[in-house]
Amino acid sequence: MGVFEEVSAFFESYRGDKLVYGRSELGRPLYAIRVGKGDAVGISQYSIHAREWVTSLLGLEHIRRGVTKGSVWFLPCTDPDGVLLATEGLSSVPEEDRAFLKKINIYDGFSLWKANAKGVDLNVNFPARWGKGAQNRFAAGPESYVGEFPLCAKESRALYDFTLRVQPRFTVSWHTKGEEIYWSFHQPPLRRMRDKKIAHMLQKTTGYPLKEAPNSVGGYKDWCIETLKIPAFTVEVGRGELTHPLGREALADILQKNIDAVARLTEVF
């Protein structure tokens, strides 16, 4: 069973609160599953980068693990078109789109694809100093293309709208690889102190060091920190010496280090 098929089957069988919060560029459902009771304290999202699809499997295990306090919305596959392109290739997209995708792909095959089906990197498409990053690109491709304008991609717009509806107290985004935690985005001193304290708790839970990337902009985490003024984290799972794309063989080690992370975060809020 493919990873998106597994996510879809999980969603269909889930008996708690769930919804489709939007549609991808190719019309695929964007799933949200709520775990816990009471007010939503967080959003935990996975596979915003296509080749990092192993994080969707982590997301399903986080849902099974549950939360400690309040409730969390889990979004196990934020970029379904990209995930299918990375795992199944051009057969996953309509025939009329295949020539365009082949033309803009710089890789041999699509297993290293990060973007959506239109060549937009969703994690640089948010209105957080958009287009000013050191590695931003301005033409469609498998990674780093910021899009024509902020939130031009259906997937990033849906995530943006859903986050505004939920009004979470924190967000956490799961990526691969490198075993690092990114937690900052130009916060003023008091919020920086608050967020770093929570990041240290996440560091203790996972064993991952805290990192900063001041020249990286336009991400979901960045927008949550700068505009919503809430703590937000990007966690890079998977050992740094591994090569992209990380597959199912990496999952056991990832789970060992990260299975309790979301539940522990809820204890803070």
pLDDT per residue, tens digit, the chain (269 aa), is 899 999 999 999 999 999 999 999 999 999 999 999 988 799 999 999 999 999 999 999 999 999 999 999 999 999 999 999 999 999 999 999 999 999 999 999 999 999 999 999 999 999 999 999 999 999 999 999 999 999 999 999 999 999 999 999 999 999 999 999 999 999 999 999 999 999 999 999 999 999 999 899 999 999 999 999 999 999 999 999 999 999 999 999 999 999 999 999 999 99
Peptide bond into 245 cis (omega under 30): yes
**Residue from 74, 86, 77 nearest 115 by CA:** 86
> Residue 54 in 3-state DSSP?
helix
* Residue 143 neighbours by CB distance under 10 Å: 19
Rounded (5°) CA angle 219-64-223: 15
Give 184-221 pLDDT, tens digit per residue.
999 999 999 999 999 999 999 999 999 999 899 999 99
Give one word for 131, left, alpha or beta, with left for phi > 0 and alpha for psi -120 to 50: left
Alpha helices (H) along 66-188: 80-88, 95-104, 154-166
The full DSSP string for 158-200 is: HHHHHHHHH--SEEEEEEESSSEEE--SS--HHHHHHHHHHHH
pTM metric for this prediction: 0.98
Give how many domains the chain has, as a whole number.
Answer: 1
Could you list the residue range(s) of the whole structural domain that residue 185 is in? 3-266
- The answer to whether 106 touches 60, Cβ cutoff 8 Å, is no
The full DSSP string for 8-35 is: HHHHHH--SSEEEEEE-TTS-EEEEEEE
- Joined tokens for residue 191: 């919020």
Burial of 197 (0-12, 13-18, 19+ CB in 10 A): exposed
| CATH code where residue 86 lies | 3.40.630.10
Give 50-70 pLDDT, tens digit per residue.
999 999 999 999 999 999 999
